[in-house]
């Protein structure tokens, strides 16, 4: 019996929700429920092109907190105090000798090469826009502008992992654990990535990937229905990942034992830097991407969650932490919506969840608000205007 199996288990909730994660022990607020690395992850295409430098394998930042702050504020002379609070270890950075993509350490470089990079390596450091993989990425970018929710390059890594796997049945079995539904028949909901406006684009991407990658081992993924299932897999199961060397520095500085004068000065500096970043790049602050996590994907949504997802190590390593006391046999639930979305009306939350995750929420909070008017407040964004 593994240590995790003593703390929680995965059970069938019902036919509509499928499986869920249930506590086998009690958790107090702040307790870590689980920690998990992704099966695969990938930085978003636009994020990469805007020079958010991150490890090609684990998404750990590759620039220092000071470099990050200078770039995002446009202030090349900015100096951050307490350099010891920067979490970036630059002396371990390495790269692929052939294409130049960078990694935070030799371990990540070796893991990437073993899992998928041998297939996806461009074999050159020159920016050859005619390379099929770069054309695939560029085509995706022109179809999906920021804010992105996934990337076609995550699909490419999945296919490459199957191609490079010695035991192909094992890796295919891992991906088969994730939900592949393209629609929710109960509510006649279709996934947002598969909307009518994307029909022609989906065929273009499918044909480009077939020409670019050896898809013989996953031929069923490249039928029209199979490719829709693959898109739905990353669309409904993909967990957003965000890392930031400056945010990590802020967290470490906050934990320093400073006198009142020093604390006031550093807080003013942090506020000023965030204001400058907001003027230059808005909310686009982090190195962002998406990953597939086996355990996390089994955790259901609630608009009144008892747990949250965190990335405390400034990498793709995910932590699920309790935000309310959890009792044995109680289901562990997170929110699939961000903090701002959770504050919106029941109608707006349902709209977002059905578009991205193919279900209508029946959590405690939504049940209590069933009598609310089905209207969207002025502050709510219009999902139909979002091109992702």
DSSP symbols for 208-263: HHHHHS--GGGGGGGSHHHHHHHHHHHHHHPEEEEE-HHHHHHHHHHTS---HHHH
Q: Which residues does 59 contact at the CB level (< 8 Å), separation at least 6? A: 41, 43, 241, 243, 287, 289, 315, 316
- Contact at 8 Å (CB) between 178 and 123? no
Map residue 195 onto helix, strand or coil: coil
Q: Which residues pair with 43 in a beta bridge?
A: 289
Of 198, 227, 199, the C-alpha closest to 213 is: 227
> Hey, what are 308's tokens?
């949250």
Name residues of the chain where pLDDT drops below 70.
Answer: 1-5, 15-17, 180-198, 373-388
Distance (Å, rounded) from C-alpha 122 to C-alpha 120?
6
Answer whether the bond into residue 147 is a cis peptide, omega within 30°. Answer: yes
- Contact at 8 Å (CB) between 281 and 47? no
**pLDDT value at position 342?**
87
**pLDDT value at position 297?**
93
pTM: 0.88
**pLDDT value at position 185?**
63
Element (H, E) at 295: none
**pLDDT value at position 191?**
64
**pLDDT value at position 281?**
85
Element (H, E) at 368: helix 364-368
- Contact at 8 Å (CB) between 332 and 302? no
**pLDDT value at position 385?**
46
Distance (Å, rounded) from C-alpha 368 to C-alpha 332?
20
Distance (Å, rounded) from C-alpha 195 to C-alpha 206?
16
Q: CA 334: distance to chain centroid?
A: 15
Structure-token match 């929680």, residue found: 8
**pLDDT value at position 262?**
95
Residues in the chain: 388
């Amino acid at each position: 019996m593994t240590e995790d199996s003593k703390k929680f288990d995965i059970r069938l909730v019902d036919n509509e929700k499928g499986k869920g994660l249930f506590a086998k022990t009690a958790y107090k607020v702040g307790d870590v429920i689980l920690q998990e690395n992704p099966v695969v992850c990938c930085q978003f295409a636009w994020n990469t092109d805007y020079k958010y430098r991150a490890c090609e394998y684990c998404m750990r930042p590759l620039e220092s907190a000071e470099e990050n702050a200078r770039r995002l504020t446009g202030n090349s002379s900015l100096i951050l105090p307490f350099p010891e609070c920067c979490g970036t270890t630059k002396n371990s950075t390495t790269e692929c000798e052939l294409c130049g993509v960078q990694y935070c350490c030799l371990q990540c470089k070796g893991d990437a090469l073993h899992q998928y990079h041998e297939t996806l390596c461009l074999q050159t450091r020159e920016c050859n826009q005619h390379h099929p993989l770069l054309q695939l990425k560029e085509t995706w970018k022109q179809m999906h502008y920021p804010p992105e929710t996934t990337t076609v390059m995550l699909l490419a890594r999945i296919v490459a992992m199957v191609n490079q796997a010695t035991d192909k049945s094992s890796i295919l079995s891992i991906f088969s654990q994730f939900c592949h539904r393209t629609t929710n028949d109960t509510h006649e909901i279709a996934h947002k990535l598969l909307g009518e406006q994307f029909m022609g684009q989906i065929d273009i991407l499918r044909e480009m990937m077939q020409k670019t990658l050896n898809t013989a081992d996953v031929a069923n993924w490249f039928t029209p229905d199979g490719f829709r299932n693959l898109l739905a897999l990353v669309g409904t199961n993909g967990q957003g990942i965000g890392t930031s060397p400056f945010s990590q520095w802020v967290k470490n500085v906050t934990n320093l034992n400073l006198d009142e004068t020093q604390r006031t000065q550093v807080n003013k500096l942090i506020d000023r830097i965030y204001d400058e970043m907001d003027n230059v790049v808005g909310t686009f602050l982090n190195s962002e991407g998406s990953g597939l996590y086996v355990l996390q994907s089994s955790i259901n949504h609630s608009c009144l969650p008892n747990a949250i997802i965190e990335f405390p190590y400034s990498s793709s390593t995910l932590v699920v932490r309790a935000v309310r006391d959890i009792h044995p046999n109680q289901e562990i639930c997170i929110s699939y919506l961000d903090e701002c979305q959770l504050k919106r009306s029941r109608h707006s939350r349902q709209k977002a969840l059905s578009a991205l995750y193919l279900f209508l929420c029946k959590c405690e909070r939504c049940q209590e608000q069933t009598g609310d008017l089905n209207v969207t407040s002025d502050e709510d964004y219009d999902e139909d205007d979002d091109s992702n």
